[in-house]
Homo-oligomer: A and B are copies of this chain.
Amino acid sequence: MNTLTLGKNLNIAYIGGGSRGWAWGLMSDLALEKNLSGTVKLYDLNYDAARQNEMIGNRLYDREDVVGKWKYQAVKTMEEALVDADFVIISILPGTFSEMLSDVHEPEKYGIYQSVGDTIGPGGLVRALRTIPIFVEIANQIKEFAPNAWVINYTNPMSLCVRTLYETFPEIKAIGCCHEVFGTQKLLATMVEEMLDIKNVSYKDIKVNVLGINHFTWIDVASYLGIDLFPLYKQFVDKYHETGFEGNEKGHWMNDHFSSAQRVKFDLFKKFGLIAAAGDRHLAEFMPASWYLQSPEKVKEWKFGLTKVQWRIDNKQELLEKGRRLAEGKEEFILHETGEEGIEMIKALLGLGDLVTNVNLPNRGQIEGLPFDAVVETNAIFRNNSIKPICAGKLPTPIENMVSLHIRNQETTLQAALSKDKSLAFQAFVQDPLVQISPDDAKELLDKMLYQTKDYLQGWNIKEEITVE
């Protein structure tokens, strides 16, 4: 590689390349970035979906408003995608919506409500059990065919996906990439605009120190130019704690599953003193059931929503149709910046400018007081083929306690998945703060959920389900 060809002729392997949302976002971001070009190889269990994306992507090549020129190529094996890859992007759906229906809604029969169900809680745990073997396979393929490639994962449960990659192939150069912290930076930017009457504050100018685990990340230092934002946030929280803050977010929590009025975030600040840096839907799941997710009514009071899987199913249907139209050229692909930082990361890794942003990486000391090797989220600096986490310090003991509980539960989940050990899975299950039911009920629920995701649990001793209604 030399400076002249920097960023040219890149090879990107896209695992899950048949996806609608994420793949199209990547195409858009690549099309708008003039410094990069090359080939994206799309691999997906659903080859037809990858083929369709190949068509959609290649339609962009000749458009005048497209400054980043990329070829897209669907491939039939992961190996074909990985060979010669400079970068690997992983964005898959582990299982189908059928399993996700069980993840999210089966626990409701036991009074356990989950607003997302893909990270922790009963749903997150069972999703992890079926995802981990897939990531073992991916890691092994990367080890064989692209050991030097940089790997960017977007799949949830984020922490365990990245943890599995490193457990399987310790030398892997992988990170987990999530936009939840940006959302909090945007909230802080809006707050600065409102409280200080400043216009056009970019969230990128909100400098934060990030520490925690994915979707349960915390900010203990935040500033805008020379201004410490903590005193301001305190006023802001006092003002909006009861009513919530709708701001200028696109959706509204009453009709948009992804929106919230930030009341959970504000409440956590009042109770623990730091800024929780993820959406309320995610944050709520990390706390005991009696706090925010006790019942649908309680959720409504806290002004966020339970994301029904049926919505995802319906939404996918729309995307399928849109995909067909895009592939056939019947609908124009509209370019827009997604706000994801994948492309920025790739540029920084190529030597095209430094980048400081939050990522998920094994703990090598960046967070004091949390176990080594656990996948944690902090800022890191990306420069020329190197990513180094930034020492984020130590969480206050009470928050560290909550984070640490989830870390050890994730570690137990990993061991359960690798050894196909239901007893270990149970030991993690009952320690999840959303699971405040009796151990007997917990056992029954876990059994049902494992049964309903059994297609992805080869080798497990799954209890045959008789009682499913």
Which residues of A are interface residues toward B (Cβ below 8 A)? Answer: 1-3, 6-7, 198, 207, 209, 221, 223-228, 271-273, 288-291, 294, 350-352, 354, 356, 364-366, 368-369, 371, 379, 381, 383-386, 388-393, 397-398, 400-402, 404-405, 408-409, 411-412, 415, 423-424, 426-428, 430-431, 436-439
Contact = CB atoms under 8 A, between A and B. Distances in A.
Contacts of A223: 351, 383-386
Specify how many copies of this chain sit in the oligomer.
Answer: 4
B388 A1 contact: no
Contacts of A227: 1-3, 351
Contact of A408 (B226, B371, B401, B438): B401
A423 B404 CA distance: 20
Contact of A391 (B226, B391, B428): B391
> Interface of chain A, helix or strand or loop or mixed?
mixed
Nearest to A361: B391
Nearest to A289: B436
7 contacts: A209-B388, A221-B384, A290-B436, A290-B437, A364-B391, A366-B391, A379-B388
Contact of A415 (B221, B397, B405): B397
A427 B272 contact: yes
Nearest to A441: B290
Given A207-B351, A390-B391, A401-B412, 16 more contacts: A1-B227, A223-B351, A225-B351, A271-B423, A273-B423, A288-B436, A290-B436, A290-B439, A354-B356, A356-B381, A364-B391, A365-B365, A388-B393, A389-B391, A401-B405, A401-B409
Contacts of A351: 207, 223-227
A381 B383 contact: no
A379 to B, nearest CB: 8
A386 B431 contact: no
Given A294-B438, A365-B365, A398 B391 contact: no
Nearest to A351: B226
Nearest to A381: B390
Contacts of A402: 431
A2 B225 CA distance: 8
Contact of A431 (B365, B389, B401, B428): B401
The 9 A-B pairs at the shortest CB distance, nearest first, are namely A365-B365, A226-B351, A398-B427, A223-B384, A401-B408, A225-B351, A3-B225, A389-B391, A6-B226
Nearest to A371: B369
A2 to B, nearest CB: 7
Contacts of A3: 198, 224-227
Nearest to A223: B384
A439 B225 contact: no
Contacts of A412: 397-398, 401
A383 B388 CA distance: 17
Most buried by B among A288, A354, A365: A365
B383 A411 contact: no
A288 B435 CA distance: 10
Nearest to A270: B423
A400 B371 CA distance: 12
Nearest to A407: B401
A408 B403 CA distance: 11
A110 B365 CA distance: 42
Contacts of A392: 388
Contacts of A393: 364, 388
Contacts of A221: 384-386
Contacts of A1: 226-227
A412 to B, nearest CB: 5
A350 to B, nearest CB: 5
Contacts of A225: 3, 6, 351-352, 384
Contacts of A438: 290-291, 294
Contact of A424 (B369, B398, B427): B398
